[in-house]
Copies of this chain bind each other. A is one copy, B any other.
């Protein structure tokens, strides 16, 4: 009964089928027939022209996307607890050649135009201070919170007004979109590039960088190779992405994960630290309570001294999740 994370979950059977079907030799790198279909497939999903590149990890997706928006001497505004700040081993420093992350505050690890302005307005426009060049938001956030379309619009408006690029880390974009119940285009809003996560959602090793500004993709093509992320058998990454889009598997899987998270949360409403808007559940639990749950066979991470994080995946068992919810309620 593993609720540790969604990032080690199984690969969905339809992804396996797509992988096997891609076996027959084809052109190397991204010259294959499957990679060639990505722009159209994602364009249909997002209802506009896009340029799409596959990579193996969310860290690579985030940092490559940002590398096309931010010069080495620039900065990126993000939440203080954003994945790029906290959990990517300094990858933004590497990919952006020393550009600076500028940390904004915000409830639920979401940022607002106001929080962004609090960071950038005090920056004097002189060479002694790093100037912001982009904003990065996370959909869903590190605490499983979803940006509403109007919230994204407001940030995008600020970005445009200040001449800043806008990137969305969508490691759990699917979960946010499933929760919001809006088309993918609205869940992404007017960002310049989206890291469209699949690995946590049923794929094996493929994420999509969706460029709504295709000029950025032209730069990132070179940077992807330069980062060692252009795989020779790219057809296997493209196959995974297409399988995720086909029949909206991405949404179906996210709904399963979200439902399991809701089931866990149901028994814990008094203890919830954040509303459940994706597939993560943060619950106040004493050490003793955590021990009880672990004794009952549940696996999860501690979150500080008095809380725990449960993450449901596409393959989480809904029954197990409900039972967990009840076990929490019974504490």
Residue ranges of A at the interface with B (Cβ–Cβ < 8 Å): 2, 4-5, 7-11, 16, 19-20, 23-28, 32, 55-61, 63-64, 71-73, 75, 86-100, 127-131, 199-200, 204-205, 219, 221-233, 235-236, 313, 315
Contacts and interface: CB of A to CB of B under 8 A. Distances in A.
Given A93-B72, A228-B59, A232-B199, A87 B25 contact: no
Nearest to A55: B228
Given A90-B100, A127-B221, A128-B88, A226 B8 contact: no
25 contacts: A4-B28, A5-B28, A7-B233, A10-B24, A56-B205, A56-B228, A57-B232, A59-B225, A60-B227, A72-B97, A73-B90, A73-B222, A73-B226, A88-B226, A90-B226, A93-B93, A93-B97, A93-B99, A94-B226, A96-B98, A127-B221, A127-B222, A199-B232, A200-B232, A205-B236
Nearest to A315: B25
B24 A7 contact: no
A60 B127 contact: no
Contacts of A24: 10
Most chain B CB neighbours (cut-off 10 Å) among A58, A97, A219 = A97
A233 B8 contact: yes
Contact of A20 (B16, B92, B221): B16
A127 B224 contact: yes
Contacts of A16: 20, 23
A225 B23 contact: no
Contacts of A27: 8
